[in-house]
Amino acid sequence: MSNAADEEKYCRQYWAVADSDGSQELDAQEALAFFSKTRLSTSVLHCMWDAIATSRGKRDLNYDDFVLALRWVALAQNGEEASLARVQQGPLSLRAKIDVPGWNPFLKGVRTLSETAQHEEYWKVADADGSGEVDVQEAVAFLSKSGLRNRVLNEIWGLATSQGVYSSLDMERFKTVLRLVAMAQKGMKLDLDEAEGGDMELIANIKFEAPKPAPKPVDPFVRPSPPALESMIEEIPLDDLTCELLAQVLEEVLRVDAASVRNVRDHKVNGEALHDMREFQEFAKLSYPDKKKVERWVAERKSEEKFKEYLVGVFGGDSQRAEDACALLEKYAVSNREEYLWFRGQASQQTNMRAIVRRFPELGAGPGG
């Protein structure tokens, strides 16, 4: 089957789920309900909607727009940069993974409870940094405890990554690896079809030591916990993050490698460096998963700061009213996503100011009444 035909088949399957009412279009709320199952951040989904719908003057997605959105999701889930121009180029070899309860076109084989529990346990060990993927180094460290020869492990890696098409393992490919490992440990011939979609119970035996719980700190002058730190830096722009605050964010919120945190402190790097990730990487020396975590966090902060800056303009430079409006809009967005996105995408500040004041009279009349 060609790449285009394969994409058409899986897109139609997802469309049948997303367009459950058969209207042949998805409004903002329906789209959010479906794409929130991709486990991507809200800021990524906002960027996708702005590019595919808002920037093109649309308030709904038809099937062709939906296909573009699935390509965008596939790129984002694989850690690649997505843009409207790229997703319009044609079918991708990547496929979006969407966690639809009780249904998934990628779910071929039914797993026993024992095998499912083992997959989840092993995933937590292999993906210790919580990046959502297992790279080559992490896979080698984990699979070396299987007792299999390197030649066999190389063959398993090639099968699970489509001979190098993928540079890392997401959870589905990781499950395939575990089932292939179980086959090799049982002396069976490696069968990719059975590993991906077969019903046979295949439980791998990976010998690892469970991590010991970290001792509770006894020093009364401990650094603030991540929630306290996040609350403290919430209103601080990226530019104003001092070197120490930035290092604490990397260490306690994003949990990047300790060596990268030391590099930031040693070079006295502050938040301004985050505007140029290439330059920041020269100082921090982040691993690939850590780099992706930092990039996502920066993108979310920039998106939030840009919207607040826009609202300050909407309210004629009144930063307090802009803050109040931002808080009201974010709360309102929980049940009124479509109108919220309309507010965010409105080109005319005067039109937007009037619409926001009408919606939230507690903000008071705008400039000029």
Beta carbons of 347 and 341 less than 8 angstroms apart: no
At 249-286, the pLDDT tens digits run: 888 888 888 888 898 888 888 888 887 888 888 888 88
| Multiple choice CATH, 3-87, 3.40.50.720, 3.40.50.300, 1.10.238.10, 3.40.50.1370 | 1.10.238.10
Q: Count helices and strands (H / E) in the chain.
A: 18, 2
Task: Dihedral sign for Cα 227, 43, 268, 289, please.
Answer: positive
H or E segment and range at residue 323: helix 319-332
| Multiple choice CATH, 215-300, 2.40.50, 1.10.150, 3.60.70, 3.90.320 | 1.10.150
Question: What residues does CATH 1.10.238.10 cover in the chain?
Answer: 3-87, 113-197
At 203-246, the pLDDT tens digits run: 899 887 655 555 555 444 444 444 566 666 766 777 778 888 88
CA distance to 72, 223, 267, 331, 334, per residue, from 252 (Å): 30, 9, 19, 27, 28
The pLDDT value given to residue 353: 62
At 139-196, the pLDDT tens digits run: 888 998 999 998 999 899 988 887 767 778 888 889 999 999 999 999 999 998 888 8
Q: Write down the mean pLDDT value for the chain.
A: 78
Question: What residues does CATH 1.10.150 cover in the chain?
Answer: 215-300
